[in-house]
Amino acid sequence: MRCAMSERGLENKMRRLTFLLCLLLAAPAFAIDGTALLKQLDRKMEPETYEMVRKLVNIEPDGSRKEFVLYSVKKGKDKIAALFLDPASERDRSTLRLGENMWLYIPNVGKPVRITSLQSVTGGIFNNADILALEFSTEYTVEKTTEEATTYTLSLKARTGDVAYDRLTMKVDKKTTLPVSIECFAASGLLIKTLTYKDTKDFGGGLKRPATLETESPLHKGYKSLMLYGSIKARKLPDEAFTLEYLPRLKELR
């Protein structure tokens, strides 16, 4: 009798263990919150409101270079303006972006003119959407997130048809939550350009991020453009600075 009860008890225990094991195997794997990851990346790349100085370099197939120095200010999620400091031929030109609307001010013209995201005020591979970039989470939603040994891959879809790139494939470093590279695609699936982030630098104020952004495009073989970040720091800015009327006075912020 004791032997029979013991065998029965052991059998019940085995059934319970088997049941628990099945539950564990059937449980879904931990899902990465891609939206939270993208918002975290945005904050690590820049303060929500800031001023910045950077250099844009366009490199021709023959090795010749053209350089521009820009002073930029951004407030919130959809306001950004930039002032040309160099070269002398471009000095005091300024640009403004409010959401998906963009303007260029040229002093001797006197009136801001509309520009588009796919045009470029500097020439080269960086377009106006790259130069006056908003936060990624403002313009894109995360459709899919996958995990590799050292990186996450975020598949991003533009929130509207006004965004310069319909889709992005972004590689994010696991340790730093900073972008490694981004492939930019048109709605047709055509690869427009690849952005590569390099040279992580401490900008102060708790901001540690890549200081170099490099881009190449299969549509412009032999050409390359660089964005070199000199300084980025949080700064309170008046709403007035992000108006068409203020564009001729943007240099007053420096």
AA identity, residue 134: L
**SS in 3 state form for the chain?**
CHHHHHHHHHHHHHHHHHHHHHHHHHCCCCCCCHHHHHHHHHHHHCCCCEEEEEEEEEECCCCCEEEEEEEEEEECCCEEEEEEEECHHHCCCEEEEECCEEEEECCCCCCCEEECCCCCCCCCCCCHHHHCCCCHHHHEEEEEEEECCCEEEEEEEECCCCCCCCEEEEEEECCCCCEEEEEEECCCCCEEEEEEEEEEEEEECCEEEEEEEEEECCCCCCCEEEEEEEEEEECCCCHHHHCHHHHHHHHHHC
**What is the per-residue pLDDT for 7?**
60
pLDDT digits (tens, 9 = 90+) for 30-64: 568 999 999 999 999 999 999 999 999 999 999 99
- In the chain, the percentage of residues whose pLDDT exceeds 70 is 88
The answer on pLDDT for 20 being more than 90 is no
Section 163-190 average pLDDT? 97
For 197, other C-beta atoms within 10 Å of its C-beta total 20
The answer on pLDDT for 5 being more than 80 is no
pLDDT band at 110 (very low <50, low <70, confident <90, very high): confident
- Whether residue 214 contacts residue 224, with contact meaning beta carbons closer than 8 Å, is answered with yes
Task: For Cα atoms 136, 86, 123, give the angle at the middle one, nearest 5 degrees.
Answer: 55
What pTM, to 2 d.p., does this model score?
A: 0.85
Domains of the chain, earliest start first: 34-253 (2.50.20.10)
List the one residue out of 35, 40, 45 whose CA is nearest residue 145. 35
First-last CA distance in the chain:
93
Task: For Cα atoms 76, 153, 146, give the angle at the middle one, nearest 5 degrees.
Answer: 120
Asked which of 12-16, 90-94, 217-221 is least confident by mean pLDDT, the reply is 12-16
